[in-house]
Structure formats: structure tokens, C-alpha cells
Amino acid sequence: MHLLAANLKVCAIVAGSCLLLFVAAFLAKLYDSSKKPHPHAESQQQASDAAPDTLQSSSRSHEAQAPVAPVSPPQPPPAKITKDLWFSSPYSVDYKIFTDGIKVTVKGPAAKLAVILTNPEGKTRIDIIDKDQMISNSHTVTLSMGDQPDGTYILAVKTVDPEKLVWQKELPLFIGQLTAKDIDFGFPKGHSGSIAAICLQEPGNLPVAFKYGEVFIEGTRCDGDIFTLVGRPDWVAIYLNWIPPLKEEMDRYNAIKNKTFLTPVFATLIAGKQYMVKITLFYGDGSKSVSFEKKCTYHEFPKL
């Protein structure tokens, strides 16, 4: 009996000690938490500390900022201009380049049309096709080109009333370096005078406007007018209305001039005889030239 009472006393003492330890630990934890600052209070303090600086910098930015102009609404991108319009046009256009210009044939509905050729410098050549000329739905015009620069040309067709672009195409045109490959010399059938012609090889596709030409027959210079031979588009001819006496004729005349009153006024050229002929053509600004020299048989040219 005494032993049971002693055990109960020991258990009571242990339980009391544990309870005291638990209370002491709880009070220590409560004390530590009371010393830490509240998180909401700290954030409020930081915000209140930073507020004066923020207000100050905001006021500075308002003072330094200039008035802003109203911003216009964004504009749509410009429409892309197609320089080639031939593939979607009610008109079809055929063109061919000759030495005197470009020949243009327009096919399509009857209307008053303007055919326009614009060179790389912006200069234009215009030809008008009346409505009655298009009544057969086809008409051809020739635009003279003259002396033109190398580059990209624009050939266009517009209706006149209302004005509307109905066909357009870019044409890269250039002269290149001219070379000569042959010479012909003779007299025109049924006409007086003589013809000296030179055959050209043109690497480019731009018509060449020749300024003038020089012809030498057996060393004697002759002047004439430049023209194109019919049916021979690669040939450029010079019509010689008269040819001064050649050197051999002048030598013969000088030998007999004291014995006769005969005075030669032009050369006496003989058909079938060979003569040394040199032709030089000048083009562009006159500083470019092409030349060829050959011994030719003087013969009759076909009808011009």
C-alpha cells in the first residue's frame, strides 16, 4: 500500500514538471513573436517612405515633358503600282523597232486611244488613234525615236475619254557597240547619182540616229544624204548626188587642160569597174562612229 502511494506521488511530480516545461516554452515563443515587426506595418512604412520621392519625381517629369502633338491614326500602305499591265488588259499590243522608230499595232475595242513612249529621261512621244481608226479593232502607228539614250523605256496605251491606263510594258533598249561588216556601191536604177551603202551589225535593239556620214571614193571625199534601203533593214545608205572628179581623172585633166576647154564637173564612174570605197557614219553626240573600207564593183542597184 505504501508502495502504490509512492508511485502515484512520483507520477504526479513528473506530470507537473512536463506541464511547467510546456508552459515555459509557450511563453518564450510568445515573447519572441511579439518582438518581430508586423509584415503589413513594414510594407506600409516602406510605401510611406517612398511616397515623397515618387511624388517628387512625378512632378519633375511633368515639368520637363513638352506638350505632345496628337497622333494621327495609322494609314494603309500605298497601293503597289504594276509597271507591266499587258497581261490583264482588254487590248493587245505588238511592237517592232526599226531604224526610224518603233511601230506599234494596237488591237482591241474601238475607242480613242493614246500610244505613249517614255524614255529613261522622262521625255515622251505620243500618237493619238481616233475611235473610227479602231473600228476594225486594229490600228498601227509609228513613234519616231530619234537620238535616244540607253535604258528602260515604258510603252503605254491609254483611253482618252475617260483617261485610263489599259496597257503598259517596260522595254529595256540599248545601242551597244556598232560594227560594220560590208559595203555596197553602185547607181540607182532609173535615177541619177550614186549610192554608197554600209551593212551594220547592231548588238543592241535601240534605233540609231546618225548625225552624218562621210564617203571616200578612191580617196576623194563625197557628201550626201543618209537613208534606209528598202528591204535591207541592216543597211544604211548615203545618196551621192554628184561625185567630184577622182584623182586619176584630175591627173588626166591636168595633163590636157591647156589643149582643151573640157572641164570635168563630176566623176565618170564605169559600171563593172572596182573602186575603193570607205564609209564612216557618226552617231550619238557625233563623237561615236562606225567605219568600213572595201574595194567594191560599181553596179546597178535594184529599184529603190
Strands (E), 81-163: 92-98, 101-107, 113-118, 124-129, 138-144, 151-159
Average pLDDT rounded to a whole number, residues 190-213: 84
Q: Quick check: 153 and 163 in contact, CB under 8 A? A: no
pLDDT band at 83 (very low <50, low <70, confident <90, very high): low
Last residue of some domain: 173, 195, 218?
Answer: 173
Same domain, 259 and 278: yes
Contacts of 256 (CB under 8 A, 6+ apart): 262
Bridge partner residues of 292 (DSSP):
279
Last residue of some domain: 139, 173, 207?
Answer: 173
Element holding 136 (H helix, E strand): none
Same domain, 155 and 215: no
**Least-confidence region, from 68-72, 139-143, 170-174:** 68-72
pTM: 0.54
Last residue of some domain: 110, 139, 173?
Answer: 173
The answer, yes or no, to whether residue 116 has pLDDT greater than 80, is: yes
pLDDT number for residue 5 = 53
Cα separations in angstroms, 90 against 29, 142, 157, 158: 97, 21, 11, 12
Same domain, 291 and 207: yes
Same domain, 184 and 289: yes
Domain that includes residue 130, residue range = 86-173
Same domain, 115 and 193: no
- Lookup result for grid cell 497581261: 87
Closest to 242 in 3D by CA, of 215, 261, 210: 215
pLDDT band at 71 (very low <50, low <70, confident <90, very high): low
As for how many domains the chain has, the answer is: 2
User: What CATH number corresponds to the domain at position 258?
Assistant: 2.60.40
Same domain, 229 and 129: no
